[in-house]
Structure 1
Amino acid sequence: MRPYSPPDYYLLDELLSEEHLFIRDTVRQWVNRELMPIIEDHAQRAEFPRQLLSGMAGLGLFGPTIPESYGGAGLDYLAYGIMMQELERGDSGIRSTASVQGSLVMYPIYTYGNEEQKRRYLPKLASGELMGCFGLTEPNHGSDPSSMLTRFEDRGDAVLLNGSKMWISNAPFADIAIVWAKNPEGNIQGLIVERGTEGFTTPETHNKWSLRASATGELVFDNVFVPKSQILPGAVGMRGPLSCLNQARYGIAWGALGAAMDCYDTALRYAKEREQFGKPIAAFQLQQKKLAEMLTEITKGQLLAWRLAALKNDDRATPAQISMAKRNNVAAALHVAREARQMLGAMGITGEYPIMRHMMNLESVVTYEGTHDVHLLITGMDITGINAFG
């Protein structure tokens, strides 16, 4: 097992309570014990390690902010962020599985579902007995989900759902899907669609160079009858899916730091051990420049994420603030991964070290839940009041 010393240059651990430190260390130890020994092999084979799901559920990684009365852990958003950071230090794809389950499946059921839906699904999702996925992105509508083609028609006690979604994490094994589709009036609504419903299929996406240890697929709806009792009653319009994306983006802002921290720590250790021209490469100015800049970017990201957590706990974090943190921290993590890869030279592309895997994963993270450029425009619109999307 590779040693790991997470960077904390501005002593942010002093801002964490004993409970937060305990949660962080518990997830870190689980990642060290259960995830790290197997992740390179699973990534090389492009296979999702389903055997980890029960352990993830046991740690409360599925819906940690959901109240205990519905099976969640009832934790705050700082705890949630720390958990995602530690999980993505292991692998972005594994963190994605947890983010989808908590932010994109359990959150909309808790926020927009009725009491019967909450009681029926949330405890089983928290325990990992049920796994879920989130269907918003379509083949021809990624950054513009309001133009989606998936829709449903009224059929008495049920609706008839037709359409397709793609790039859906967890789709190949999900028991339920939160699907966003246009109703007969053209407004977007969410539906809970269960696996096994006639006409509903989830073909897997193969040949990925990124998130290889994550299961990705499509959602295809061919004349699928969904009972009206499965419609989420609390959300009509884009507010529903966008609020879910804000939850996921918040977790990503923390998670990407975990990948960056792992790359930095790996590069620092390597630089102290690897000798060229008679001395460790850490003694050369250009290598110190890389390390200093990497640590600076990580530290800035840590401060951004910590402050965002405080705002979110006070219910004051705006979507634009979350967008800024997601965009900055993922871009910083990508920069750190690329610099770390260069420091390791040819060894950086092998599975003996995690850097190339992190770098490839982050190429997806910088795109999903809002691309790098879309988040820039969200910030631009917030500070100018002018919409540059249309």
Structure 2
Amino acid sequence: MPVDRMLPTQEAADLIDLVRDIADNELAPLVEQHERDSRYPEGLFALLGRAGLLGLPYPDRLGGGGQPYEVYLQAVEELAARWAAVAVAVSVHTLAAFPLLHFGTEDQQERWAGDVLDGKLIGGYSLSEPQAGSDAAALICRAEPTADGYRINGAKAWITHGGRTDFYTLFARTAEGPEGISCFFAPGRCDGLTFGRPEDKMGLHAIPTTSAYWDDAVLAADRRIGGEGQGLHIAFSALDSGRLGIAACATGLAQAALDAAVAYAQERSTFGRRIIDHQGLGFLLADMAAAVDSARATYLDAARRRDAGLPYTRQASVAKLVATDAAMKVTTDAVQVFGGYGYTREYPVERYMREAKIMQIFEGTNQIQRLVISRQLAR
């Protein structure tokens, strides 16, 4: 069921219609088999790039779509309602582009931004390490200065799209302490960079998640984004926006589960009535709809604050927390609506439920979101 959206311009409305068309015709027919086979969607991200969907919230002058964040997020939600793994990869690409687009020099942007925003270069975000997930200040991957650049040594973990992308926004230690982390626009392939076996995940099977191992890999000096020691500031600035992307993904996933549950409840009959007409189940569906609408409202509120240039760190964490918790509940309830069939692979709701769980974990666990929110309140 298409969501009745309130969009700021006719251009934005036309864009969402284009996204729906691509999602229905290019994503929906592939998702079940690709997810079941853990098969990478070859060529799909190039198609999304040609359609202009990989640079939507970035300026026209740099090759982006020049769209407000509230429009970009609704486009991500539409993608997620058909294929969550692809939508997450789009969100991560947008996150990976953030440091270059906001902290890169004019020369760096002129060199790389156009290819990043039109999808010729697909990006991954490489912050986490085996011992440093939520505690980003504990990074130990090192970038040792050399005569003409940096030598990188260390392991990175939980990289969405790892081993498949053309560049990584890499965070590595150039000095001791929290102020000793720097940011790099690292190539996706170079001497000294290898990747681990893709993680055997609960969901999002079509897009690999891997570890990366840097062994005396050399990066040129002009690959550093921002100043030395500015890395954590850049990382956390990017994550505020990235959390909104995950909130939109979670909302799209929840909407898909709600739509599937409503359709099934209208078709299935018990005791001579459609099951949607039984009050107990009708109320369950009503609660699911309220959760989806609330999730969408929270991410749109945060996005509109971002678009207006207002602080939105707390609102981004609220959106990520509310939307991902809603997705977990709504997808679980969708399985319940389907009864025994919901526990089989005959219907997609069991996949939705598995995919929802990771939404509560990446881009900062929901416990970290509560920490961010409480610290913002304490200020």
192, 195, 199: which one pairs with 1:199?
192
* Greater CA drift, 154-163 or 234-243: 234-243
The offset of 1:108, in angstroms, is 0.8
> For residues 284-336 of structure 1, what are the alpha-carbon distances to aligned partners after superposition, in whole Å with 9 as ceiling and x for unaligned?
12111111101111122222222222211101142111001110011011111
**Alignment of 1:356 onto 2:350:** yes
* Greater CA drift, 248-257 or 226-235: 226-235
Which residue identity lines up with residue 201 of structure 2 in the other structure?
Answer: K
The offset of 1:176, in angstroms, is 1.3
- Matching residue of 1:111: 102
Would the aligned equivalents of 1:91 and 1:358 in 2 still touch at CA under 8 Å?
no
**Alignment of 1:75 onto 2:67:** yes
The offset of 1:16, in angstroms, is 4.2
Q: Distance in 2 between matches of 1:81 and 1:295?
A: 19
User: Where in structure 1 do 4 or more consecutive aligned residues deviate above 6 Å?
Assistant: none
3-state SS of 1:344 partner: helix
Alignment of 1:86-235 (within 5 A): 86-103=78-95, 105-186=96-177, 187-234=180-227
- Matching residue of 1:250: 244
Would the aligned equivalents of 1:47 and 1:215 in 2 still touch at CA under 8 Å?
no
264, 267, 273: which one pairs with 2:267?
273
Which residue identity lines up with residue 172 of structure 1 in the other structure?
Answer: G
3-state SS of 2:144 partner: strand
Q: Distance in 2 between matches of 1:196 and 1:375?
A: 33
Q: Distance in 2 between matches of 1:175 and 1:302?
A: 32
Which residue identity lines up with residue 127 of structure 1 in the other structure?
Answer: D
* Greater CA drift, 297-306 or 142-151: 297-306
The offset of 1:190, in angstroms, is 0.6
Q: Distance in 2 between matches of 1:343 and 1:133?
A: 37
- Matching residue of 1:55: 47
* Greater CA drift, 339-348 or 138-147: 339-348
3-state SS of 2:218 partner: strand
Q: Distance in 2 between matches of 1:310 and 1:195?
A: 33
Would the aligned equivalents of 1:161 and 1:221 in 2 still touch at CA under 8 Å?
yes
TM-score by length of 1: 0.92
* Greater CA drift, 289-298 or 196-205: 196-205
The runs of 5 or more residues in structure 2 that have no matched partner are: none
Q: Distance in 2 between matches of 1:125 and 1:351?
A: 37
Q: Distance in 1 between matches of 2:35 and 2:74?
A: 24
Q: Distance in 2 between matches of 1:262 and 1:42?
A: 18
3-state SS of 1:37 partner: coil
Would the aligned equivalents of 2:299 and 2:316 in 1 still touch at CA under 8 Å?
no
**Alignment of 1:375 onto 2:369:** yes
The offset of 1:159, in angstroms, is 1.3
- With over 3 angstroms needed to count, the CA separation of the structure-2 counterparts of 1:304 and 1:202, relative to structure 1, is same
**Alignment of 1:321 onto 2:315:** yes
235, 242, 260: which one pairs with 1:241?
235
The offset of 1:52, in angstroms, is 1.1
- Greater RCO, CA 8 A, separation 6+: 1
Q: Distance in 1 between matches of 2:221 and 2:140?
A: 20
Q: Distance in 2 between matches of 1:202 and 1:112?
A: 27
Q: Distance in 2 between matches of 1:237 and 1:254?
A: 26
> For residues 194-243 of structure 1, what are the alpha-carbon distances to aligned partners after superposition, in whole Å with 9 as ceiling and x for unaligned?
13321111223232122112121111101111111111125714111111
Would the aligned equivalents of 1:268 and 1:291 in 2 still touch at CA under 8 Å?
yes
The offset of 1:15, in angstroms, is 5.4
Would the aligned equivalents of 2:144 and 2:152 in 1 still touch at CA under 8 Å?
yes
- Matching residue of 1:343: 337
Q: Distance in 2 between matches of 1:190 and 1:14?
A: 37
- Matching residue of 1:334: 328
Would the aligned equivalents of 1:6 and 1:262 in 2 still touch at CA under 8 Å?
no
Which residue identity lines up with residue 193 of structure 1 in the other structure?
Answer: A
The offset of 1:358, in angstroms, is 1.7
3-state SS of 2:285 partner: helix
Q: Distance in 2 between matches of 1:19 and 1:292?
A: 32
TM-score by length of 2: 0.95
The runs of 5 or more residues in structure 1 that have no matched partner are: 386-390
- With over 3 angstroms needed to count, the CA separation of the structure-2 counterparts of 1:114 and 1:342, relative to structure 1, is same
> For residues 336-369 of structure 1, what are the alpha-carbon distances to aligned partners after superposition, in whole Å with 9 as ceiling and x for unaligned?
1110111012222344432222211111111000
CA RMSD of aligned residues (A): 1.6
The offset of 1:280, in angstroms, is 1.2
- Matching residue of 2:18: 26
3-state SS of 2:28 partner: helix
